[in-house]
């Protein structure tokens, strides 16, 4: 049987003291083997001290450009993003006295097209693993808010983790991204009490039993090179190189709107993220985040959006067919948008879990 190797990585080390406490407990009593440190947050210094007391815990850099949906730097400006990335990397080395074991980012800003290259350059320069890159397959489904601000404890229950470990971990290397912590009265975050629910699951003794039953070996990111070097099965080096497409489920809810013919274009040009306005003789079709949907005209609310990893060559054939087919087979309605660089698929929020499962079953990689 092909080896199954999993890294349980806890994001947000240093964000708050309650989070620090939860991460250390999940490492000491649970299955967390690795964490990612934020260098510009209130509890960074405490996290550094805790890391020295727990040397078996791998510690990487969790680049923070956003805090809580803020914009600390303009990460759509490649020069600004590169400078701030280097500054945070240097701060990590100064605080920890060594290189990070891996590289990732808060709220996944490393996936933003304008600053992705800066992250890739830094990772290559220092031989660091960058989240989402082979040979490690990223698993982000163990999260209590699949819809922003809407908590669902079932998503971080033991049963949810069991489904992932039994049915989504095949042979190869995987990162399970987790967010354990304790509620901290000094900390304000939309994802807060959910962290205690994650912690309860990650320290549940049944998880260790489950790992043994499934033949899953735990490592930290500092062990990644050795795991690849010692592997007697080549699949470990190939994990993450699926022949399917890679998609990211965007966190916002979207609206699909229709405005009458002759209606002026809505003032959405300053909005970041996905905005689509299509003009025909019949009127304007608008896709945007729900909170910015035009008040007049017809509005269909409650859509979630998958972004296909691009850029895609304009001559590429069959991308939409390969993605639409499994959704159609599952009976899921689809609204598609194509741009110069890539494709977007919108499904109703009520169908998003079913859509994720259908796409993954068809061989596509979905970051949700």
Q: What is the pLDDT of residue 89?
A: 97
Under a CB-based contact definition with an 8 Å cutoff, are residues 215 and 164 in contact?
no
Under a CB-based contact definition with an 8 Å cutoff, are residues 199 and 178 in contact?
no
Q: What is the pLDDT of residue 336?
A: 94
Half-sphere exposure at residue 83, Cβ-oriented, CA atoms within 13 angstroms: 8
Q: What is the pLDDT of residue 364?
A: 84
**Cis amide bond preceding 65, omega within 30:** no
Given a cut of 70, is residue 297 above it in pLDDT?
Answer: yes
What beta strand segments (E) does 38-171 contain?
58-63, 102-105, 129-130, 136-139
Instruction: Name every residue whose Cβ is closer than 8 Å to that of residue 264 and which is 6 or more positions away in sequence.
Output: none
Query: Per-residue pLDDT averaged across 265-291, rounded?
Result: 83
pTM value is: 0.73
Under a CB-based contact definition with an 8 Å cutoff, are residues 105 and 62 in contact?
yes
Please state, as a whole number, how many other Cβ atoms lie within 10 Å of the Cβ of residue 125. 9
Q: What is the pLDDT of residue 56?
A: 95
Separation CA 43–CA 62 (nearest Å): 14
The string over 89-111, giving b where at least 16 C-beta atoms fall within 10 Å of a residue's C-beta and e elsewhere, is beebeebbeeebbbbbbbbbbbb
Separation CA 349–CA 129 (nearest Å): 33
**Angstrom distances, CA of residue 221 to CA of 9, 48, 184:** 8, 17, 28
**pLDDT tens-digit readout, 200-251:** 999 999 999 999 999 999 999 999 988 887 765 554 544 444 457 888 888 8
- Distance between the two ends of the chain, CA-based, in angstroms? 28
Instruction: Name every residue whose Cβ is closer than 8 Å to that of residue 80 and which is 6 or more positions away in sequence.
Output: 73, 74
| Mean of pLDDT over the chain | 89
Query: Residue 271: which pLDDT band, with cuts at 50, 70 and 90?
Result: low
∠122-61-139 over CA atoms, to 5°? 100
Complete domains list, the chain, with CATH: 4-241 (3.20.20.370), 247-367 (3.30.2130.10)
The share of the chain scoring above pLDDT 90, in percent, equals 58
**pLDDT tens-digit readout, 145-162:** 987 788 999 999 999 999
The sign one gets for the Cα dihedral 284, 285, 290, 295 is positive
Q: What is the pLDDT of residue 17?
A: 97
Given a cut of 70, is residue 88 above it in pLDDT?
Answer: yes
Q: What is the pLDDT of residue 10?
A: 98
Separation CA 31–CA 21 (nearest Å): 15
């Amino acid at each position: 049987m092909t080896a199954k190797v999993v890294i349980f990585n806890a994001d947000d080390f240093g964000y708050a003291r309650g989070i620090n406490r939860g991460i250390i407990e999940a490492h000491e009593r649970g299955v967390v083997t690795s964490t990612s440190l934020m260098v510009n947050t209130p509890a960074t210094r405490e996290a550094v001290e805790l890391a020295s007391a727990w040397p078996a815990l791998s510690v990487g850099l969790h680049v923070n450009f956003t805090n809580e949906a803020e914009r600390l730097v303009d990460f759509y400006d490649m020069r600004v993003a590169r400078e701030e990335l280097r500054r945070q990397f240097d701060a990590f080395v100064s605080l920890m006295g060594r290189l990070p074991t891996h590289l990732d980012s808060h709220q996944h800003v490393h996936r933003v097209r304008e600053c992705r290259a800066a992250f890739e350059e830094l990772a290559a320069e220092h031989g660091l693993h960058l989240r989402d890159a082979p040979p490690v397959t990223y698993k982000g489904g163990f999260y209590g808010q699949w819809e922003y601000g809407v908590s669902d404890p079932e998503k971080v229950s033991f049963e949810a983790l069991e489904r992932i470990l039994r049915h989504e971990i095949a042979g190869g290397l995987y990162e399970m991204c987790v967010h354990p912590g304790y509620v901290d009265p000094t900390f304000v975050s939309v994802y807060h009490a959910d962290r205690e629910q994650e912690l309860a699951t990650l320290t549940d003794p049944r998880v260790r039993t489950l790992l043994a039953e499934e033949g899953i070996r735990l490592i930290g990111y500092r062990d990644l090179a050795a795991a690849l070097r010692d592997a007697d099965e080549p699949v470990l080096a190939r994990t993450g190189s699926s022949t399917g497409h890679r998609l990211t489920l965007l966190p916002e809810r979207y609206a699909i709107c229709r405005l009458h013919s002759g209606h002026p274009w809505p003032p959405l040009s300053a909005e970041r993220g996905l905005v689509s306005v299509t003009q025909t003789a019949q009127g304007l079709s608008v896709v945007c985040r729900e909170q910015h949907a035009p008040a007049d005209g017809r509005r269909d609310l409650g859509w979630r959006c998958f972004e296909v990893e691009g850029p895609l060559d304009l001559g590429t054939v069959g991308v939409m067919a390969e993605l639409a087919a499994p959704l159609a087979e599952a009976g899921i309605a689809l609204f598609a948008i194509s741009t110069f660089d890539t494709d977007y698929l919108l499904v109703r929020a009520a169908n998003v879990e079913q859509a994720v499962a259908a796409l993954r079953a068809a061989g596509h990689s979905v970051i949700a």
